[in-house]
Amino acid sequence: MMPTIPAFLNVERSVCGRRWLDRLDPAAARMAGAISQQTGLSEILARIVAGRGVAVEAAEDFITPTIRALMPDPSTLADMDALAARLADAIERRETVGLFGDYDVDGACSVALMVRYLRHFGLNPPTHIPDRIFEGYGPNNAAIDGLIEQGATLVMTLDCGTASHGPIAHARGRGVDVLIVDHHLAPDELPNANALVNPNRRDDISGLGYLCATGVAFMVLVATSRILRERGQGGLPDLMKWLDLVALATVCDVVPLKGLNRAFVVRGIEVMRAGGNVGLSSLAIAARVSGPVNAYHLGFLLGPRINAGGRIGDAGLGARLLAGDDEYEALAIAQRLDELNAERQRIEVAAVEQAVAAAELEIGEGPGPSVLVTASSEWHQGIVGLVAARLKERFDRPAFAIALGPDGGGTGSGRSVPRVDLGAAVVDAVRGGIITKGGGHAMAAGVTLGPGQLGPFRAYLNDTLADDVMAAKAGDGIKIDAALTARGAHPDFVHEFERAGPFGAGNPTPVFAFPAHQIRFADVVGAGGHVRCTVSSGDGANLKAIAFRAAGSPLGDALLKARDGQRLHVAGTLNIDHWQGRETVQLRIIDAAVPG
């Protein structure tokens, strides 16, 4: 029998009910030592790299990922050559290309990327982003007709279309060609498009299923430019100048930050900092971004504002902002998106309170269901994904939030935990006739339910995913990258480990433990119920800290109880706050434990 690995700082059960674990097992610790010796990387950076499964020979490429080294031949994607050839034909013939995108950040970025590419050749593509409430996800006949009426002889769907058999058939029946660029899980039978590029279609062997739709669209443009170059076309655009759009979509769609995605984000952030896209620059101003733009800003400040248009406002605002070059219009759109985001936050807070109360009632005193499925006729369809995310965070299990209609049916969204494939479960539910419509990824899914389907769907999820959730919980724990003191958490230290970024899905932000630090001045701030405090080490060094949305949770209660100087082990992530030209480090607390 294998010996049990000791808990980090001997924390067997934190205030959040988790065991603390050293991210590096003995083999990874030895790998960290080898990485440091052979590459010259600092000990802490080598630990972080090794903790993400990177071998010695790959360490330097991990720290400095390049698109040249990591991008494969686009032709490895199924149907790519046919799709790129048809798009090149449209450019040469000066056809009107109608673009249909999704209403989230990935859809907006995909459309903006394609608009900018076609405009370079003097084309002016009509675009359509569907209204989340009235049209729902994916292409529909009326929208297709609208694009055709604007002269489209070729329709391209971006970040959608893989399962849209009816609308694609409708478009083909009206005599227009259809190209699909997507990344969502594909059904067994594909729609009758002229070409469909999706690394997650069953016959694709490219290994690029981790790309978001904008990443796939970028590959399409690489292939299209190659064909145009071979045909003698000159004056091709520099695709690298649009990598800011790819980076934004990659971070916001929460796809794994590995391989080519890491290169996209690293290079894309460099492009974004140069300020070439006036829409992104205007949005950064509206979002009050301070300091150089980084992956955190993309995921938590810029992305939510673009999404706000699709959630509760004009779904086309994001694509229009990102594709435009008029600074005055960009500032106006960015301001409107900022206002919509504030309104979205107010709506979300009320819905989350209702959902948490319903979930607590369902869980009761026992372990409760493996998958939470909450529903209400009072919820706005545009915020159910956010509600599901909050439930998942609060109760550490997959969760769905569904906005019910008058007939008892509804539209909902789900968020999962690692090692539980929610998208596959939803696709199987559609195949089995349990729900009307649905799809998604391993970590997120969307559903449409008919009357009477809520109960069977809830039962199906708990029956189907119970073992997976149990297995995920068995391996659950807070993985700690290293122990640190408040004095050691200085800006140079943060800059050093950020070389292993960007951090996000597939490349988790390093988590540091602060042993037996004093908690001072804890209080609740903000509408979201954040707990703010100061974490102090024994040598008198202080570190500003915050636990987001922790009020009323075991973590928040523990911090508030200890606020007069009691000592806690605290675990969290570090970031740099830029204010008036100064850099200060802030700790985002994610867990705590009583010493001893």
Cβ atoms within 10 A of the Cβ of 63, count?
A: 18
pLDDT band per the 50, 70, 90 thresholds, residue 418: confident
Using CA atoms, how far residue 112 sits from 5, 316, 317, 565, in Å, is: 49, 11, 11, 52
Closest CA to 85 of 253, 238, 204, 226: 226
Q: Tell me, what's the pLDDT at 579?
A: 77
pLDDT band at 4 (very low <50, low <70, confident <90, very high): low
Provide the β-strand partners of residue 374: 401
Tokens 């009307």 — which residue?
Answer: 436
For residues 347 and 309, give the distance between their C-alpha atoms in angstroms, rounded to a whole number.
Answer: 14
What angle in degrees, to the nearest 10, is found between the helix axes of 303-312 and 327-363? 80
**Mean pLDDT of all residues in 38-61:** 93
Q: How sure is the predictor about 304, in pLDDT bands with cuts at 50, 70 and 90?
A: very high
Q: Is the pTM of this model over 0.95?
A: no
pLDDT at 350 over 60: yes
pLDDT of residue 2: 43
Alpha helices by DSSP H, 174-289 = 213-230, 243-252, 259-273, 278-286
CA-CA-CA-CA torsion for 142, 320, 266, 212, nearest 10 degrees? -10
How far apart, in whole angstroms, are the C-alpha atoms of residue 154 and residue 27? Answer: 54
pLDDT of residue 3: 47
What is the number of residues in the chain? 596
pLDDT recorded at residue 365: 79
Q: Which residues contact 2 (CB under 8 A, 6 or more apart)?
A: none
Q: Is the peptide bond before 502 cis (omega within 30 degrees of 0)?
A: yes
Backbone angles phi, psi at 529, to 5 degrees: 75, 50
Per-residue pLDDT of 272-290, as tens digits, reads: 999 999 999 999 999 999 8
Q: How far apart are CA 443 and CA 441, in angstroms?
A: 5
Query: Phi and psi at residue 182, in whole multiples of 5°?
Result: -150, 175
SS3 368: coil
Average pLDDT (142-163) is 97
Average pLDDT over residues 481-491: 95
Q: What does the pLDDT average to over 71-89?
A: 98
Tokens found for residue 153? 């002889």
CA-based max dimension of the chain: 75
The dihedrals phi and psi of 317, each to the nearest 5 degrees, come to -60, -45
Measured CA to CA, the distance from residue 554 to residue 559 in angstroms comes to 9
Query: What is the average per-residue pLDDT within 559-580?
Result: 93
Question: Binning pLDDT at 50, 70 and 90, where does residue 563 land?
Answer: very high
**How does strand 542-547 pair with strand 482-483?**
unpaired
pLDDT in the model for residue 1: 38
List CB contacts of 83: < 8 A, sequence separation 6 or more: 179, 181, 194, 195, 196, 197, 220, 223
Q: Give 5 or 426, the one with higher predicted confidence.
A: 426
Residue 524: pLDDT above 60?
Answer: yes
Residue range 570-586: average pLDDT? 90
Residue type, 409: G
What are the tens digits of pLDDT across the range 487-511? 999 999 999 999 999 998 889 999 9
What six digits make up the tokens of 28? Answer: 């990874």
Burial zone of 16 (CB within 10 Å; 0-12 exposed, 13-18 middle, 19+ buried): middle
Q: How many Å apart are CA 387 and CA 411, to the nearest integer?
A: 13
- Token pair listed for 419: 């090692």
Pairing outcome for strands 564-579 and 582-593: antiparallel
Please, what is the end-to-end C-alpha distance for the chain in angstroms? 27
Residue 435 has pLDDT above 60, yes or no: yes
Please give the Cα distance from 264 to 71 (Å, whole number): 10
Q: What's the mean per-residue pLDDT of the chain?
A: 94
Q: Are 387 and 352 in contact (CB under 8 A)?
A: yes
Query: Looking at residue 539, what is its pLDDT?
Result: 87
Across 506-562, the runs of DSSP E, i.e. the strands, are 512-525, 530-536, 542-547
Indicate if the pLDDT at residue 558 is higher than 80: yes
The more confident residue out of 393 and 4 is 393
Enumerate the β-bridge partners of residue 592.
570
CB of 216 closer than 8 Å to CB of 156: no
Which stretch of 410-414, 459-463, 549-553 has the lowest confidence by average pLDDT? 549-553
Domains of the chain: 8-22+481-593 (2.40.50.460), 69-339 (3.90.1640.30), 364-474 (3.10.310.30)
What gap in Å lies between CA 591 and CA 545, rounded to an integer? 12
Cα separation of 384 and 404, whole Å? 11
Contact residues for 57 (Cβ-Cβ < 8 A; gap 6+):
none
Q: What percent of the chain has pLDDT over 90?
A: 88
Phi, psi dihedrals of residue 586, rounded to the nearest 5°: -125, 140
Q: List the alpha helices (DSSP H) in 96-212.
A: 105-120, 141-149, 165-173
